[in-house]
Chains A and B, each alone.
Chain A
């Protein structure tokens, strides 16, 4: 664990950007058709619930990393195995997100550039940032937050001004009852992006005033959730359900539809910046969690030196996990949600919390 501290505001910004990261760009929750925004809203509630669990766990062990307290809770061997699983999970997801963003860039902007180059350049900056440590990541986040928010507000105003929003596309609400929304919640929106906050258990110990943690975290989850709800509702209102769910990047199509006063059009760069900012923060956080985890588990003194070798692992992994974008997306929907997100974001943290509860009760009694 490196010797650094971040404040609650910085944590808020990081969680906010992290959640918007890729969820802003993909057709999130479109299985619920025009009620996708409701599914996301349900996801916010689920996210706050999960955040409480992570927070309780943190409160039992405020000064040490999860990789350590897992060993205390489950014993040396099982704790180490679980910590290893989490590290591999973080590495794998950072490779997945890297692949996502590389593919997005290649699909719509850099058609002739090899994926390797795009991924390598993005990862190079990420490795450098992680090498510099959590304080630098947090400050970068604050800077990028302003940029992203400015673009979001500008984009929002332009979409409204250009008269593209057709509210009737969002109707009828709850066409097929509540079930599709619930299903989408359990299959997708609970985990992406809200359950992914699990990675922040690796970052909680760095916060300087733990009392503010709860407020900052919940504010970030709710605010980013509201942003996602608005974005998805606008996507559907502008494009219609069918086009939104068929589109690889609905937000891009929405932004492309903006035409104001003959010159405010072709604002694809808005999408590009949102993509780069979101992707950068998301991969950085995952990758940082993996790097600190490895250094803590294997007692490597200089954490930052691990960034480069692990970076190469992530880069190669990002290229080799799937042979096509379709395969990549299918893996994400069919395998990752069910067999990785659900156990690692929900089930194991709950079990850990139960174990921690009983262990600490025993300790108190023995005192």
Chain B
């Protein structure tokens, strides 16, 4: 009986001690919010981690807490032959164990992306159970190193990685020229010939040293600012070019990623006089494989929106006029899309996903052409774009102010 009660006592301990195996207390962890990877001249990886200073972000925005005295983040840089080594070397500088489960931003240096490609570094990241595939990825371009993006202090959103992510989210929704990509997207696209991955670029404008000090966030016009600057096109895991402005917007149209954007058309000789605000859209990409050696792609867009600005005297209460607008808008959007298609064909990188459309339309033919799709078929492919733009309403006014002023 005695032995029995001792065993029961020991077993009861299991309930109370069950969380204690290799436990990690919060004060022993360095919460890494962003990870930047560059390539040094000697071929080694240079990793920069952005660690949150918990005391300086607490209290939230707006309250003048202790946050103003020191920075909300600290960054550490180390180098090594592979990512694991970089992580181990960083530990010689950080007083706590780097903890990657909350890393929500991955910044890749342009040099690394162009010269070596991103496949190698992604393996370490997806293999690790701590790191998550919902982490957003960006590429640092315009002579900005990944390290600069990681270590520039930002206003409003105090933690720079949050700033970058929120910027990506809002610009994707409002402007429609950048795309919010997470590592899962990139990973799944890198593995198939159906579609090439694209990653949004970020760059730092201004003085990199200024960006690292608190003064940067004490000014109304920060000396160093982070901003999205186009989309990087990858081929075989390597970055080959960036697309911006109309080309990247056209790409977003084809990829069905436009949520809201503005399209402006010329009217009565005035440039960009009528602005159309898209509220929703739908794009279908299909392939016609009647002639197996010459696939035909058709892109069908239908968009719906309202008039946002009218800088010429026009009678917006006239429905027939709106139909004319619709035609002109369709042409304009089609122009955007065509420019992005031409660019993609010129780059021989199928980030528009036409390969996937061919794959779905005729799997057998795809099997024989997928090896040389990007290099020989895609640049020659015939694309038919049809755009239906609908103007549903005109905002709070009918006729613009200008038309009354002229009388």
Contacts and interface: CB of A to CB of B under 8 A. Distances in A.
A binds B: yes
Interface of A: 107-113, 117, 121, 168, 171-172, 175-176, 239-243, 246, 253, 256-257, 259, 265-266
Contacts of B363: 172, 175-176
B21 A112 contact: yes
Given A109-B129, A239-B188, A242-B191, A265 B134 contact: yes
B22 interface: yes
B360 A171 contact: yes
B393 interface: no
B302 to A, nearest CB: 18
Contacts of A239: 184, 188
B134 A240 contact: no
Contacts of A256: 132-134
Contacts of B361: 172
B356 A168 contact: yes
B21 A117 contact: yes
Contact of A257 (B129, B184, B191, B367): B184
Contact of B360 (A117, A172, A259): A172
A242 B360 contact: no
A131 B191 CA distance: 49
Contacts of A108: 129
A51 B302 CA distance: 52
B225 interface: no
B192 interface: yes
6 contacts: A107-B129, A111-B129, A113-B22, A168-B360, A172-B360, A176-B367
B191 to A, nearest CB: 4
Contacts of B184: 239, 243, 253, 257
Contacts, number: 51
Given A109-B129, A172-B363, A257 B188 contact: no
A171 B363 CA distance: 9
A240 B14 CA distance: 41
A203 B204 CA distance: 68
Nearest to B24: A112
B334 interface: no
Contacts of B360: 168, 171-172
Interface string B133-144: 110000000000
Contacts of B129: 107-109, 111
Contacts of A171: 359-360
Range class of the B interface residue count: 10 to 19
Contact of B191 (A110, A112, A240): A240
B191 A243 contact: yes
Contacts of B187: 243
A306 to B, nearest CB: 20
Contact of B188 (A109, A242, A259, A266): A242
Nearest to B191: A242
A246 B361 CA distance: 26
A152 to B, nearest CB: 21
Interface in B168-210: 184, 187-189, 191-192
A113 B20 CA distance: 11
A242 B132 contact: no
A176 B129 CA distance: 34
B191 A172 contact: no
A121 B15 CA distance: 12
Nearest to A169: B188
Given A108-B129, A172-B359, A256-B133, 7 more contacts: A110-B21, A113-B22, A168-B360, A172-B363, A175-B363, A241-B192, A256-B134
A363 B134 CA distance: 67
B256 to A, nearest CB: 10
Interface string B120-152: 000000000100111000000000000000000
Contacts of A109: 129
Contacts of A110: 21-22
A73 B359 CA distance: 55
Nearest to B14: A121
B188 A240 contact: yes
A126 to B, nearest CB: 15
Interface string B280-307: 0000000000000000000000000000
Contacts of A176: 363, 367
Interface string B235-271: 0000000000000000000000000000000000000
Contacts of A168: 356, 360
A168 B361 CA distance: 11
The 7 A-B residue pairs with the shortest CB-CB distance in the complex, in nearest-first order: A242-B191, A240-B188, A112-B22, A175-B363, A172-B363, A171-B360, A108-B129
